[in-house]
Chain A
Amino acid sequence: MKAAQISQNQLLLFLILYFYSTLVGFSASNLIHISQYDTILVLCISGLTAGIYAYFTIKLANRRPNEFFFHYGKDIFPQWIHILFMGFYFFSFLHTSAFVLREYEDFIVQTYLGGTPNWAVGGLLGMVVAVTARSGIQTLFRTAQGLFFLILIADVSNTIFIGKELKWDRWMAFITNHSGHGIFAGTYTTIPFFGEVIVLVFIFPYLTQKNKTLKTVFWAIVLGLLLIIVNFVFLLLLFGPNLASHITYPMLEMVRYIRIADFIENLDPFLISIWSTTVYLKISLLFFLSVQILAQFFRLKDHRPLTFSLAAVMVALSLQMSGGSAALTSFYTNSWATYSYFIEGIPILYLLMDTLKRFIKKRSAKNNKGM
């Protein structure tokens, strides 16, 4: 498989959008419900943990920088265990892309396209994702680079326009209102969002200037957090934690508060454009990775002929995975985080095993020399 080139700048912009995408759009309500005014603290701790995840992931990838994880993994673990883990990843990436797609379908159908069947929305976005994945990972990162500033402008305009509606006297609550359990539970459910930075181990051979990756990821986490925190602070200042946690899409309601000069009364399109784009980028990367793993498993020259078949599976899975929004929310709040820890912990397991193997090898070489 030919290695494409992704610059560090493209990686930075992509990761910022990746972190921002579903956390603000679909999970704001749940996070505020659990952590209330501690949400900001929770986000900072989660960002810090993401840095630790990134450090270990990059440490593992840096040991064989030009090889794919699928190929060198069998030198670390026995082949059958490695294949099993790759199977987990294949399923997990496909499942997560289907899950995010389903969240998007529900959002669009409930909010704008009432009466439109989910399969129509899922089918259309699935088709776009398939075409992007077919074009390759470089196209995906270039798309993110191109769309980044448009998304940033839309998001900054939203936050600026909402400024005058905020109730600034709520500020004090960020300092006075704390709950230990809220911080713990919120952090537990938020870390997996940032922990998705482990995808780096799969895309590492595509990167240029690999020695700068850790620095890039560090900045992506800081800037992504900044963007996310601004949105969360504004949500809390406008609605307060109780109201915000009882609205399905609090960001959408916040944007609906914006009134500019009595003639622009609906800025929803700004928000929809941000969400649609970031969600599309996230789904595309996860989907691409699952296709890539399958192509590498079958030792195919390229992943392209598998994209449309798997895109159909992704769309069907998104429709079949739950009976409705309530079941989806229950899945997300009750089990998704723990499931994600299992999946995201695998590269650290590889790193531990690799380090242990190297240590034993070094030691036995030393002993042989001594004899």
Chain B
Amino acid sequence: MIMIIILFFLFIFGYEWAYLKKKSRKRRTFWIVFCIMGMSFSYCIATIVFKNMPSPNTLIQFLFTPIQQKILGKVD
């Protein structure tokens, strides 16, 4: 699975590099695009390596379930 992710990111790295070069974008754009790509890559790998990573759903449920239960009562 990790190999597939690495291959995918290698492909999009090359693709976006060619796109930005062709459009002669500023150095700043290169930095932003590849930093976001780096973060995206890290997140994808982290979801594989750390299986029990907390998900945003847990936070949303923690914040909003009590409010919803107060409004609606317990719906089973």
- Chain A residues within 8 Å of B, Cβ to Cβ: 34, 91, 95, 119, 181, 184-185, 188, 294, 298, 300-301, 304-306, 308-310, 312-313, 316-317, 319-322, 327-328, 330-331, 333-339, 342
- A334 lies within 8 A of B12 (CB): no
- A321 lies within 8 A of B19 (CB): no
Whole-angstrom distance between the Cβ of A203 and the nearest chain B Cβ: 23
Residues in B whose Cβ lies below 8 Å from that of A91: 56
- B56 lies within 8 A of A317 (CB): yes
Whole-angstrom distance between the Cβ of A255 and the nearest chain B Cβ: 28
Q: Which residue in A95, A309, A316 is a CB contact (below 8 Å) of B47?
A: A316
Q: Which residue in A181, A319, A322 is a CB contact (below 8 Å) of B57?
A: A322
Kindly name the residue among B15, B29, B71, B75 whose own CB sees the greatest number of chain A CB atoms within 10 A: B75
Residues in A whose Cβ lies below 8 Å from that of B16: 305, 308
Assess A338 versus B71: contact at CB under 8 Å? Given A316-B43, A316-B47.
Answer: yes
- A321 lies within 8 A of B55 (CB): yes
Q: Which residue in A34, A313, A339 is a CB contact (below 8 Å) of B44?
A: A313
Q: Which residue in A310, A319, A335 is a CB contact (below 8 Å) of B68?
A: A335
Whole-angstrom distance between the Cβ of B49 and the nearest chain A Cβ: 11
Chain B residue at smallest Cβ distance from A306: B36
- A338 lies within 8 A of B68 (CB): yes
Q: A185-B73, A185-B75, A306-B36 are in contact. List 13 more A-B contacts (CB 8 A).
A: A95-B56, A119-B1, A309-B33, A312-B8, A312-B41, A316-B43, A322-B55, A327-B57, A328-B57, A334-B64, A335-B61, A335-B68, A336-B64
Count of interface residues, chain B, beta-carbon cutoff 8 Å: 38
Assess A338 versus B67: contact at CB under 8 Å? Given A185-B72, A313-B43.
Answer: yes
Kindly name the residue among A181, A313, A328 whose own CB sees the greatest number of chain B CB atoms within 10 A: A313
Whole-angstrom distance between the Cβ of A209 and the nearest chain B Cβ: 32
Whole-angstrom distance between the Cβ of B12 and the nearest chain A Cβ: 4
- Chain B residues within 8 Å of A, Cβ to Cβ: 1, 5, 8-9, 12, 15-16, 19-20, 23, 25, 29, 32-33, 36-37, 39-41, 43-44, 47, 53, 55-57, 60-61, 63-65, 67-69, 71-73, 75
Residues in B whose Cβ lies below 8 Å from that of A317: 55-56
Q: Which residue in B8, B39, B57, B72 is a CB contact (below 8 Å) of A321?
A: B57
- A334 lies within 8 A of B68 (CB): yes
Q: Which residue in B8, B29, B43 is a CB contact (below 8 Å) of A301?
A: B29
Whole-angstrom distance between the Cβ of A342 and the nearest chain B Cβ: 8
5 A-B pairs with the lowest CB-CB distances in the bound complex, closest first? A335-B64, A309-B40, A338-B68, A338-B64, A308-B12
Q: Could you tell me the distance between the alpha carbons of A188 and B67 in the complex, rounded to whole angstroms?
A: 13
29 A-B contacts, Cβ less than 8 Å apart? A95-B56, A119-B1, A185-B73, A185-B75, A188-B72, A298-B32, A300-B29, A305-B20, A308-B15, A308-B16, A309-B12, A309-B36, A310-B40, A312-B5, A313-B43, A317-B56, A319-B47, A320-B53, A321-B56, A321-B57, A328-B57, A330-B61, A331-B60, A331-B61, A334-B68, A335-B64, A338-B64, A338-B68, A342-B64
